[in-house]
Structure 1
Amino acid sequence: MAPAESNVPVQPEPLESHSYRITVDDGRESFYALSIEDASSDDAWLMSDTAVALDSMQ
């Protein structure tokens, strides 16, 4: 078996983050979400609806 090759660049691009307020049920319910994305890849992203603030994630 050969070792796996990494496809991660030596100098990775910085990640981008976006925050959203998502409203559902015709405006009766809403929640906040945080998205962290690698702009160079459509498949590299993470979205969380549990983070209220970045400070609380430390």
Structure 2
Amino acid sequence: MTRTDADTADYPVSLSSRAYRITVDDGRETFDALEIRDERRPEAYLMSDTVRSLDAMR
């Protein structure tokens, strides 16, 4: 993981997200995944197989 000290207050960050349903073991098991990506920096993304809605976190 790389940390950057760039101040993002000077420019807006454009994020996109995509949801996936991933099936493994010849269809015997499935799980959901969420990807969040900074459109301007292809190397800046997060993918997680732990998906919770914001309402569930309150």
In the superposition, the TM-score normalised over structure 2's length comes to 0.72
Q: Percent identity?
A: 49
The alpha-carbon deviation at position 41 of structure 1 amounts to 1.3
**Rg larger in structure:** 1
- Which residue of 1 is the match for residue 14 of structure 2? 14
In the superposition, the TM-score normalised over structure 1's length comes to 0.72
> Structure 1 segments of 4 or more deviating over 4 A?
none
Q: CA RMSD in A?
A: 2.3
Where in structure 2 are there 5+ consecutive unaligned residues? none
SS in structure 1 at match of 2:55: helix
